[in-house]
Structure 1
Amino acid sequence: MEIAVIHFIMLGVISGLTKGAGVLPDGPLNAAVGATVMFTTTLIPSDKPFLSVVWTFGSENIITFSGKNITGPEYEGRITLFMSTGSLELRNLDLNDSGQYSLSIIQAGGPGKTGSTTLNVLEPVSNVTATASSTDLVEFNSSVRLSCSSSGSSLSFLWLNGSSEVTASDRVHITDGGSTLTIVNVTHYDQGPFRCRVSNPVSVGTSDLITLSISYGPEDINLTISLSQEYYGEGSDITLSCSADSRPAALFYWFLNGDFLSDTGPELRLMNIQMSQSGNYSCQAFNDKTLRYETSQPAAVSVLERISGAFVTPTTSLTIEGIFVNLTCDAAGSVFTRKWMKDGSDLTLAGNMNLYDKNKVLSFNSLKTTDSGEYSCNTSNPLSNDEAKYTMVVICR
């Protein structure tokens, strides 16, 4: 009988209710299973008491106040009604609590107000797992599929590479609602680490990291020479070093003028080098996983014999005015240049003088007494030099 009276009162005043814009917040509200939600009204506490407060879930009564509280059996022990504002707290949520909630309030001396909002109760994200179809890949040859799974409801999936979001492209495909990431023709920049972030409006979860092992290279090969210089003296020690970006580490082979050398490894040590070892050196890097190779640009190694034992010899020791005489300048070693002097000054060729064979031969086609003097010849190369002298006395006829 008591319930009937309350319903009669509500029906008697229902025609005076106005839809209270803003009495309840715009929905939906989101909450996790097992959590608590507060339906907070926008009403300010007032001296004027509420004559009636009615909360319903769909057509089901949650709580009705009209002098006393009448709580629906499904909500016993789960709700608290705040009479100062009409707000409602609902605890221990389950999935069946999702739906529309409505409020009707009649306040003494004022118009009735109504409002409604929607509640979504969601299973929180849990057990986020990411797996890869393979983690041992070859650059440009392999493709990989990463799959993400999770418990929870209304799930959204996001893939991260390090701290950056993965976005779709010609090579990168995101499918199955975002839970599957496929990378076609991987590059070594695709190694990760990857992780899957799963979220819904009430929670977030992240998978463990997946790092891909991507074999690549060799690339960016570089050949260097210790104490690089244009020429090296015989007997010098030279080390050539070869490097390349590669996974796994590259194997290195060496070539001289295009011919294969027996030496292997990232360093080639040339000890006590001889002129016969001059030439263009190059290295080749090979990756036994990708089966690719790359060859360096050649590096020139020029070995010179140091100059020694310079000498000047005449074609005859009897230097008589009017005869033909040659002075020949030579030395042991790699002679690049020869410079002639007479009596300590640079030689000025007179009309009866000529130089031949890259200044090796100083020729007098008809000796004069003025040709007498001390002749010196300086032989040199970029690493050494030596000088020889010859004194010629021209005898008058």
Structure 2
Amino acid sequence: MKADLLISLRMSLTVSLMVLLFISRVVAQDGWAVNYNSKSVCTLKGSALTMECTYTPPSNHSVQKPFWTKELVTSGSEHPDLLDDPEYRGRVQYLGDEHRDCSLRFKTVRETDQSKYYFTFITNQTGGKYQGAGGVDLSVTDLQVEVPERVIEGDNVTLTCKPICSLTVRPTFTWYRNGSSLSSSNDSLHLQPVSSDNKDRYHCGVLGQNSPEVTLNIRYGPKSISVSISPSGEIVEGSSVTLTCSSDANPPVQNYTWFKGTSSVGKGETYTMKKISSVDSGEYKCRSSNEHGEKFSEALTLNVLYPPKSVSVSISPSGEIVEGSSVTLTCSSDANPPVEYNWIKGTSSVGKGETYTMKEISSVDSGQYTCRSSNEHGEKLSEAVTLNVLYPPRNVRATSIRAPDSKSETLTCSSDANPPVQNYNWFKEGGSSPVGSGHSYMALQSGSYYCVAQNEHGSQKSAAVTVKVNPNNILVVVTGVVVGLGVVVAGAVFFYCRHVRKSKQQHLARVGDLDY
């Protein structure tokens, strides 16, 4: 009984469509014509449909093949026959003949059938291919539940069941909620004030065809805002940390804003610190907002752990370091958790603690000092600081080297001082004035000599060394010097006189030439 009723309704729908169609007639100049009873047809998906059509071939032509095509075929192209198309085979039927009727029947209309269709016939004459212009536009509709464009929490809502295009016969509607039918038989379903908790599914049915299910898209402001952190556990500097803000809102939150303390630091559902550092420690929260409101999450505290960095050493007092004074080195660093300190001179450990004090510093304390700062996450050495301990000369010593001919002795003064000795002075015992200066001194007289080394921090004299020089050797040296000087002077006079005589001769020669 129900099946018969369904068939009857579908036939009634088809007949009604056919009755209400208006005729579009296309007539060519040579007398042929194709008449489509409708330019457009709308039907439900899954229903049967007949497109009524009549045609008149040209006179003196015999129709050999009448057929329908899905698309308009341009000149020179083959006419695709629907009966040869795998998508239509077995579902379409030509109701006409080779004379007048060209009606096309769809047994079951599919959504993919929506297109424009043309009737074409081929005659026995050369070039006898004719196609009806305009064609028939087929719209395949499906039922759909129309929901108000905007549904805000607390609104009263009306759902409407309607096809995409208008049907000729007004059918009876059936409404369903979560698969169960409701008492309403109208095309509208009224719902009382709705809340965001409404997750029900609704659909409607007509003539055995059901609409897709819909759910209410209820709009509301953000709720249940929370922040999660990934990965969980300790946060070590250099790792990647992502904060994720989650909320319940519709439409989904358009704007997530991240705050550190009271300062905005980022936007988006997630906030990632790829290489987190100590400056990123603090309280974070996110603000979620859409067009219906905004809400803040609870604050989340990030405590970033990191190994020592910015390790440095300071010296107190500053300035020059003089032997015998007190000097304190202080190590400072930035780390979480706090650090332990170790002091290193060169490569040797010399102490522990934040400070290292040398109460009476000496020259042996000169050198490079570094501080090693360490915690459970790593360690770091400071840049080396150099202690340059200044002190006056000491270990001053004079030594002598006698020349092979015993004519003189060379005295040399050495010392240990910082800064190096600027002045060396030589004294002969028994005298109060220096007899020479400089690192070395050539002694030409016998006697005891000593040197005095001096820098800006003090002076020290060496022990005396005894020099023995032969007096005759001194006379010989002096005589040799005098004779040598005489020879040089005589040679100079000789060459001067020779030059003058030669110049006079050249002058007399030039005068004689002129007289001649």
The TM-score normalised by the length of structure 1 is 0.50
Whether the aligned pair in 1 keeps the contact of 2:452 and 2:460 (CA below 8 Å) is yes
Note closer, same or farther for the CA distance 1:305–1:388 as it changes in structure 2 (3 Å cut).
same
CA distance in 2, matches of 1:311, 1:138: 62
1:193 CA drift (Å)? 3.0
CA distance in 1, matches of 2:243, 2:273: 8
1:296 to 382, 401, 404: 382
Within 5 Å, give how 1:148-297 maps onto structure 2.
148-156=245-253, 158-162=256-260, 163-166=263-266, 178=269, 180-181=270-271, 183-184=273-274, 186-229=276-319, 232-261=321-350, 263-288=351-376, 290=377, 292-297=378-383
Q: Match for residue 238 of structure 2?
A: 140
Within 5 Å, give how 1:75-94 maps onto structure 2.
94=193
Structure 2 residue 424 is matched with structure 1 residue 339: yes
Within 5 Å, give how 1:343-362 maps onto structure 2.
347=436, 359=439, 362=441
Whether the aligned pair in 1 keeps the contact of 2:258 and 2:271 (CA below 8 Å) is no
Whether the aligned pair in 2 keeps the contact of 1:191 and 1:213 (CA below 8 Å) is yes
Query: 1:246-288 CA distances to partner (integer Å, 9 max, x unpaired)?
Result: 2222322211112222x12222111212222221111122231
Query: What amino acid is aligned across from residue 321 of structure 2 in structure 1?
Result: Y
Whether the aligned pair in 1 keeps the contact of 2:426 and 2:441 (CA below 8 Å) is no
Query: 1:28-60 CA distances to partner (integer Å, 9 max, x unpaired)?
Result: 8896649xxxxxxxxxxxxxxxxxxxxx97599
CA distance in 1, matches of 2:372, 2:316: 18
Note closer, same or farther for the CA distance 1:212–1:388 as it changes in structure 2 (3 Å cut).
same
Whether the aligned pair in 2 keeps the contact of 1:158 and 1:165 (CA below 8 Å) is no
Note closer, same or farther for the CA distance 1:33–1:223 as it changes in structure 2 (3 Å cut).
farther
1:235 CA drift (Å)? 1.8
1:193 partner SS: strand
Higher strand share: 1
1:328 CA drift (Å)? 7.0
CA distance in 1, matches of 2:433, 2:310: 55
Within 5 Å, give how 1:24-103 maps onto structure 2.
33=154, 94-95=193-194
Query: 1:290-329 CA distances to partner (integer Å, 9 max, x unpaired)?
Result: 2x222222222133444479898999xxxxxx97567676
1:204 CA drift (Å)? 0.7
Gaps of at least 5 residues in structure 2 are 1-147, 161-191, 197-216, 473-516
CA distance in 2, matches of 1:182, 1:95: 38
CA distance in 2, matches of 1:301, 1:193: 44
Query: 1:156-175 CA distances to partner (integer Å, 9 max, x unpaired)?
Result: 151414223435xxxxxx6x
2:383 partner SS: coil
Whether the aligned pair in 2 keeps the contact of 1:255 and 1:282 (CA below 8 Å) is yes
CA distance in 2, matches of 1:96, 1:294: 60
2:250 partner SS: coil
1:137 CA drift (Å)? 0.9
Identity of matched residues, %:
22
Structure 2 residue 363 is matched with structure 1 residue 363: no
The TM-score normalised by the length of structure 2 is 0.40
Note closer, same or farther for the CA distance 1:335–1:278 as it changes in structure 2 (3 Å cut).
closer
The count of aligned residue pairs is 260
Whether the aligned pair in 1 keeps the contact of 2:413 and 2:424 (CA below 8 Å) is no
Supply the RMSD in Å over aligned alpha carbons. 4.8
Note closer, same or farther for the CA distance 1:217–1:381 as it changes in structure 2 (3 Å cut).
farther
CA distance in 1, matches of 2:412, 2:295: 92
Note closer, same or farther for the CA distance 1:326–1:248 as it changes in structure 2 (3 Å cut).
same
Query: 1:187-237 CA distances to partner (integer Å, 9 max, x unpaired)?
Result: 3344353212112212110112212111123222222222344x5332221
1:185 CA drift (Å)? 5.0
1:276 partner SS: helix
Note closer, same or farther for the CA distance 1:147–1:297 as it changes in structure 2 (3 Å cut).
closer
Note closer, same or farther for the CA distance 1:191–1:304 as it changes in structure 2 (3 Å cut).
closer
CA distance in 1, matches of 2:312, 2:435: 47
Q: Match for residue 384 of structure 1?
A: 458
Whether the aligned pair in 1 keeps the contact of 2:153 and 2:195 (CA below 8 Å) is no
CA distance in 1, matches of 2:284, 2:452: 71
Note closer, same or farther for the CA distance 1:59–1:225 as it changes in structure 2 (3 Å cut).
closer
1:333 CA drift (Å)? 6.5
1:249 partner SS: coil
2:300 partner SS: coil
CA distance in 2, matches of 1:265, 1:244: 12
1:95 partner SS: coil
2:364 partner SS: helix
Query: What amino acid is aligned across from residue 386 of structure 2 in structure 1?
Result: A
